[in-house]
Each structure stands twice: as structure tokens, then as C-alpha cells.
Amino acid sequence: MGVHGVKAVFFDLDNTLVDTAAAGRRAIEEVMSALRSKHHCGEGEARVICEKVQDKLLKECHDPAKMCITDLRISHWEEAIQETIGGEVNRNLAAECYFLWKTTRLQHLTLAEDTRDMLTELRKGVRLLLLTNGDRQTQREKIEACACQPYFDAIVVGGEQKEEKPAPSIFHYCCDLLGVQPAECVMVGDSLDTDIQGGLNAGLKATVWLNKAMTTPVDASPVPHYIISSVLDLPAVLQKMEHKVNAKLGTDHMAGSNETH
């Protein structure tokens, strides 16, 4: 599928191509179950521990130069257990919870067949790049788990770069990798703050916001060029862009013809 003016599409990973949130929920359920059955936690305690960890993950600030992600995340579980149950610090239990959470989450990260088919079809006409923020180890493990490498011409992880989305530099780095101009690229992602704002900052041709819940953004949010409720709607958006370009070319041609008479 050739698209006039569009030479490359950049895709976000988490909650765009793969349902990381759903995989995370399955992982939390698994840990809660283990805490209850194996470690005799009450249901309420197990739930509180897991909620505290989720809160810590949301607020996480990670400097890989100071601590590896594994140690940091084990410490989240350690703190949550200590804050909830008290008693002696239990590093072994914290590590067990972390690795169970991590392996379960990775097991449930899948690139759906219809998404794979769409990427394969798209790649016949445009170049595809995966652009994901996050810690290098964590994101590379996810990429490996969902086996998405074969569908992309390049993969860029924010944690391996000087700056992450929404900084223009990482988008321009992606353009250089593929040998394309920002005005020839489209960014697709679920985050207004990183994917859409980043695409706008970098001067990309278009930004496509994946809004599965079809929620209304707050007034101060960046405004995407297009909104879709499923990543599978992307080919239709690209076709719409192509029709717009063709219509404009037709209009320009007509204007040119009129001028000559």
C-alpha cells in the first residue's frame, strides 16, 4: 500500500501494539493468588501490597547508572510488603513476588494475529519503526516476549537514547535511521503526552492517537491529527491521508490549468 507523502510509520509499543495493561493485571492476580495460598496473606493484605506496588511503578524514577531495574522493582515489593504487614524486611519474598509478576506479565504480552497481518501489509508500502520509552532491559524483554522484531525496519528504545519521547531528538534520530524526513512520517500511539506531543514537537506529517476508551481529552492536551479506537483502523487513516493528497494534487493541477488559459 503506497501512501503519497508518507514514507514511514512509527508505532508505540505499550498499550498500542500490545496490551501491557491487561498483561499487568493478569500478573498482579497471579501474585495475589500466590501471596494468599503460599504465604498465607489475607485477601485484603495481598490486595493492598499489590496496589502499593502498582502505585510505586506509576511514580517510578529510574536511573540505570545508580541501580538496575531488577533491584529497584524488588525494592518496590519489599517496601509494599513491609508497609502492609510490618515485621522483618523480607527480601526473598519480595524477589519471589517480583519475578512471578514479571514472568507472568511477559507471558501475556502478545502481538495479536490481526495486528501482525496489518503490519505485514503496511510494510509493503511504507517503512515501519517501533519507538518505545522505558528502561532498556524492561523494553527489550517485552519486545522479545511478543516477538515483534520481524515486523519492523528498526526498533528504538528510549532508555538507550539521550532523550525519550516527547523530545524531538529521538524522533529525528528515528528519521535518520530510516533515511526519511519528519514531514514524511506518522506517529501512532496511545499517549497524548509522549506520542502525540512528541510527534508534534518533531514536526511529523501526522499524529494518530489510539484512544481505545474514546475518552475526551482535557482542554490543555495536545491535539492529534487523527483519532482511532483500534490500531487496526490505521490503514483506513493512511488511505484517508492519501485521498486528501490526491484531491489536493487534483485541485493544484486544475488551478495550474486555469492559469494558463
Long-range Cβ contact pairs of 100-104 (< 8 A, separation 24 or more) = 100/27, 100/30, 100/31, 100/34, 101/27, 101/28, 101/30, 101/31, 101/53, 101/77, 102/27, 102/73, 104/23, 104/26, 104/27, 104/30, 104/31
Using alpha carbons only, give the angle 190, 164, 119 rounded to the nearest 5 degrees: 45
Contacts of 174 (CB under 8 A, 6+ apart): 8, 10, 129, 131, 154, 156, 185
Q: Per-residue pLDDT for 150 more than 80? A: yes
d(CA 29, CA 250): 57
- Percent of the chain clearing pLDDT 90 (strictly above): 81
Tens digits of per-residue pLDDT, 93-147?
A: 999 999 999 999 999 999 999 999 999 999 999 999 999 999 999 999 999 999 9
Q: Which residue did the predictor score with more confidence, 249 or 260? A: 249
pLDDT of residue 253: 47
Where does residue 140 rank: exposed (0-12), middle (13-18), buried (19+ CB within 10 A)?
Answer: middle
Binned at pLDDT 50, 70 and 90, residue 3 comes out as low
Do the strands 185-189 and 206-210 form a parallel or antiparallel pair, or are they unpaired?
parallel
Question: Which H or E run includes 257?
Answer: helix 234-260
Coil, helix or strand at residue 217: coil
Task: Report the chain's mean pLDDT, rounded to a whole number.
Answer: 92
pLDDT in the model for residue 254:
45
Query: pLDDT (tens digit, 9 = 90+) per residue, 206-226?
Result: 999 999 998 888 888 899 999
- On the question of pLDDT at 243 being above 90, the answer is no
Q: What is the pLDDT of residue 257?
A: 42
pLDDT at residue 37, as a whole number: 93
pLDDT (0 to 100) of residue 256? 45
